[in-house]
Amino acid sequence: MKPGSGKKVILGMSGGVDSSVAAHLLLEEGYEVLGLFMKNWDETDESGECSATRDFEDVRKVSAQLGIPCYSIEFIEEYRNHVFSEFLRQYEAGFTPNPDVLCNREIKFDLFLKKAIEFGCDYLATGHYAQVRPRTTPTPNGAKQELLRGADPNKDQTYFLTAVPGAVFDRVLFPIGHLPKPEVREIAKRLGLATSTKKDSTGICFIGERKFKTFLNQYVHTQSGIIRDLDGNRVGTHDGIAFYTLGQRKGLGLGGEGEPWFVCGKDREKNELVVVRGQEHPALYAWELEASELNWFGGTPLTESFDCTAKSRYRQQDQACRVTFTGPGSVRVRFTEPQRAMTPGQYVVFYQGEVCLGGGVIQSIGRSLFEEQTGIQMIR
């Protein structure tokens, strides 16, 4: 008997190749599959089109090819209230938020899961590149499944799942998590699916093809100010510190002889952007970060500190570190090697081998190598 025999699953279909192939694999496993398209945004892009309309048409085509029912549901108000509003609040405060992490926590693995239960489904499935497997030991929060990296290291998406409550994964399936992306494409081509050659979506969903600064200007009040170097010399003017992130090079409008300029700090009180020359400048590197809003998939570790690996940004290679609890909901993370351009507002995600332990929001960065070398205090 096939694993899915007699079981019903609701699949989040985005109109892309990943969820299309996920639907096919679930059918092969014997599941009764129902496709559900989530519309989280209702504004048009610069060309006057709504990408959600195009994507749902692709969902309809693939569903017809595979012979499964599909529906569309709107979470527009919920998305604005729980994801977009927080995104704007963080930017206005000078941080660099990650709306994809918030969307997974608030929409895809909360509201969407509740909808799956309403439909009488046994599982929720998505096209994420991640995996789950049964835990061998009990956990403080009762979670029965642990989250594993996707088999394709170039596509692994566990970073974006770090804020999802661990117990949720007991009712989640990741049909393509064990496959490399090229194989997913090949399956889609072999089946002749309408999405087989569709490009992967990139960037933030509600911005689309628009320039980030143009989009953000509609919602966030910004004020221009000076750009200075570490010696306090004025080297240019910025359009608002909300538009810039640590380690950024492009869009500064700075030239002159010497190496390129990079953002190394934001003085929010003075509305000043601080820059240095050179990608490897010691002001861009630090050993430690402080994180809070922690989420542990298997429950909070019972030790005061532990060693693991971590990512402080997506697509980063794992970095060895020690995690030390500094309070009920906060940790200090010290890396074995100094890390470049760690950014408040982003997430730090922890791993033990292939297992994703959870993560939290970066609140502050420790002393930079420049500060250690010179004794001069920076503002980030």
User: Active-site residue numbers?
Assistant: 103, 205
SS (H, E, C) the chain: CCCCCCCEEEEECCCCHHHHHHHHHHHHCCCEEEEEEEECCCCCCCCCCCHHHHHHHHHHHHHHHHCCCEEEEECHHHHHHHHHHHHHHHHHCCCCCCHHHHHHHHHHHHHHHHHHHHCCCCEEECCCCEEEEECCCCCCCCCCEEEEECCCCCCCCHHHHCCCCHHHHHHEECCCCCCCHHHHHHHHHHHCCCCCCCCCCCCCCCCCCCCHHHHHCCCCCCCCEEEEECCCCEEEEECCHHHCCCCCCCCCCCCCCCCCEEEEEEECCCCEEEEEECCCCHHHEEEEEEEEEEEECCCCCCCCEEEEEEECCCCCCCEEEEEEEEECCEEEEEEEEEEECCCECEEEEEEECCEEEEEEEEEEECCEHHHHHHCCCCCC
